[in-house]
Structure 1
């Protein structure tokens, strides 16, 4: 029960109103530690309830004993990698703060800069993306010296998108006594460890899962394919035959996303495409239509779909294999959320196999192999050298039956030149006449008999 936490009574009222009953594991672990004022470094999978794990203690700290007092200045900031995730987080903050006087605002790219600057003077909690916030800081609009709580959500993704310097600068502009709560779905490697060392002070580390335990409710399969056209046939078959409420198809490039979207629309699928070249209006329209059920299929690149939270999204297809294990974790995190079931299928060509194998090793898992008999291709993965017994360096040397000593290897007999290699070879050193296209020798005419014309 949420009543076990020392949250402000106005927040407990909101939680009851929203019918939140049992806290998730990440909430049980993170909320008490955050309420004690500790800096936190939390690894928790997407869909585990981590937004409430940082929003509730943040709001409780801001309320203190004077939750009914009007705002004085900007006191909390939440940084996120994408506009879509920032918009979703704003809605969550507003839901939990519905019985308080705390006001939240959103700062992302694609909106009027002057209106955003005016809004900054009227909110207690700021939610935004690093790039746009840096622009306001450079313009002198963003004053963070009274910030008490800084939240970095999806920190690993912000690092991947090149926001490390922006995040560190914004953290440096905050009050030196502020609390920092950093959440990510993966460990993030050396780059994220460096960010943690720079922006967190003696943090409490909470790892709620290992990557090998992510998305237990999601089946993970691979289907081999010969080429991209073969992949398109497989996508068409899967969308026609799998049972799903909503599906998302990931590609690595905008060009491939647009091409696949065009193919689906031509086949009368209700689909939408989402990538970095889409403006804010189109991006919002795509997500709203998917949530409302007006479309069932979203074709997207990683950057565009980051932070996407849509109920009923139970099928993920990797048309292109992601380039890292962390990116794979984020993709399949779109399905099998909050204990639900889902299916993640990766389409593997010969140039995807090594990537797929490295991701299996990273996750310490082996994906289920699957074939679609209607579209079974020739490529079924690399040949197993061990099975053939002819791997390089594995031949057993023969021993002489009489001496027991290893027999000397026989030199291979000299091969006679094959007819195929000599068929076009001239029989003399005379020059060879070649056809105009340079592809084949011309037949040499016999010299004329003496006296012939």
Structure 2
């Protein structure tokens, strides 16, 4: 219960207005530590409520210790624009009965307009590393008064190539601050240098890892012959499942646009979402999806991290994600907050090995499924390829056996009979001396006369 955590009455009022009564596991463990001022390193499964775990203690501090004449007091870094706007909206709802302001700073929006809003000193800034760094370089954002630094989906920011930007931003923040790192697939060995740089004696809450199965999500695969077969399967799956809302993931922008058009042709209410859309289009697309005007969202991985939309009960991977971590984040768009969901991945022949590597990484086995009337010719590899180690050992053994085996010499019957007997010469040539054979002995060279 949130009532077990002593929160400011205005924050409690905002929670009651949203009908939120129960604290999740990550919230119950992280919030008391954060209120004590400790740095945190938190890994918890997607959809577990990590956003409230860092927003609530932050708002609590600002209400208990108001500082109207200071600059920005909290910076929240996230990898994508969609996640930035979602975190900002969560903050606005929680701060509805306070004077605390939050602002989104990310690409796709006018730089000058953002700079004008920053001059009003919002207490909380939520942004992506690239645009935040731009404002720092042009002095339109000052971070010397920062009290809270939050890195949400920290590992993803580094994977996207933001390591240098994140390092520059964190070094610009005030040293007297509280820092928290959150992710659903946190691998500390990959970001250990960042942890050492930004965290001070952190409390580690590793509540789950990528290998922990999400029990509320049914995970299935369907084998497909090729792209055209996948397109027919997607439409058939949607007709069979009849989801309230579905997210279909592709690996490229071009694939998301093409597949969106294919599904529209088959009379599915569909919209595409990808990184090359401007921010106005992206907001409009997500709003239509949330409001139910769009049933199917075909998206690239810009929608894979942190996006929380009620009613998503089906996720389809049109293409196998490139890593186990990305798979976890994709399917995490369903089965959130304890609700049930289904995740289906379409596997072409070229994706079988990648699928198997994801299974090994996540330590699970996907359930194979078929759609009546849409069976393909591909049934999986005819012969499962042995592991590299086993294949290498087999080759070494074959080579050793080859070297150890002496070449066989064909033996004649008459040779076997002659074993142990002295062989008589068969011709004069065999018994002759070298001289007899026509080789003249070397003559002794005569020494030259002296003089």
Post-superposition, which runs of at least 4 consecutive aligned residues in structure 1 deviate over 6 A?
391-395
Q: Deviations over 1:375-408 (max 9, x none)?
A: 1112111124699xxx98999xxxxxxxxxxxx9
Match of 1:404?
none
Write the mapping of 1:271-286 to structure 2, written as runs, cut at 5 A. Answer: 271-286=270-285
Give the whole-Å Cα distance in 1 for the aligned partners of 2:242 and 2:269: 15
TM-score (structure 1 length as normaliser): 0.82
1:22 alignment counterpart = 22
Deviation at 1:187, TM superposition (A): 2.0
**Aligned pair partner of 1:86 in 71, 84, 87:** 84
**Cα drift, residue 359 of structure 1:** 0.8
Residues 267/63 of structure 1: CA separation in 2 closer, same or farther (3 Å cut): same
Mapped to 2, the partners of 1:183 and 1:392 lie a distance apart of 41
1:268 paired with 2:297, answer no
- Equivalent in 107, 110, 126 of residue 109 of structure 1: 107
CA RMSD of aligned residues (A): 2.4
Is this contact kept in 2: 1:274–1:305, CA < 8 A? no
Map residues 146-165 of structure 1 onto 2, 5 A cutoff.
Answer: 146-165=145-164
Task: Give 1:99's match in structure 2, choosing from 97, 100, 106.
Answer: 97
Aligned to 1:248: 247
Residue 77 (structure 2) pairs with residue 72 (structure 1):
no
Q: C-alpha separation between the residues in 2 aligned to 1:289 and 1:230?
A: 29
Mapped to 1, the partners of 2:44 and 2:118 lie a distance apart of: 31
Q: Distance in 2 between matches of 1:338 and 1:384?
A: 41
Task: Report how far residue 153 of structure 1 moved.
Answer: 0.8
Matched, 1:41 2:41: yes
> CA separation in 2, counterparts of 1:345 and 1:74?
43
Q: Secondary structure at the match of 1:345?
A: strand
- Call closer, same or farther: CA 1:277–1:11 in 2, change over 3 Å: same
- CA–CA distance in structure 1, aligned partners of residues 385 and 210 of structure 2: 30
Aligned twin of 1:196: 195
Query: Equivalent residues in 2 for 1:211-250 (5 A)?
Result: 211-250=210-249
Give the structure 2 partner of residue 289 of structure 1. Answer: 288
Q: Does 1:13 align with 2:13?
A: yes
How many angstroms apart in 2 are the aligned matches of 1:409 and 1:358? 43
Task: Name 2:306's counterpart in structure 1.
Answer: 307
* Unpaired segments ≥5 residues, structure 1: 396-407, 411-453
Cα gap change, 1:304/1:333 in structure 2, threshold over 3 Å: closer, same or farther? closer
Write the distance in 2 (CA, Å) between the matches of 1:45 and 1:33.
19
SS across alignment from 1:299:
strand
Q: In 2 relative to 1, CA 214–171 (structure 1 residues): closer, same or farther, beyond 3 Å? A: farther
Matches of 2:252 and 2:16, distance apart in 1: 44
Count of residues in correspondence between the two structures: 395
* 8 Å Cα contact 2:72-2:123 kept in structure 1: yes
Q: Which residue of 2 is the match for residue 120 of structure 1?
A: 118
CA deviations on 1:176-212 (whole Å, 9 max, x unpaired) are 1111011001023643233222211111110112323
Larger Rg: 2
What is the match of residue 52 of structure 1? 52
Offset at residue 268 of structure 1 (A): 1.8
Give deviations 1:194-246, integer Å, cap 9, x for gaps: 32222111111101123233421110001111111111111111011113101
Contact 2:304/2:329 (<8 A) preserved: no
Aligned to 1:425: none
Deviates more, 1:203-212 or 1:133-142: 203-212
Structure 1 residue matching 2:191: 3-state secondary structure: helix
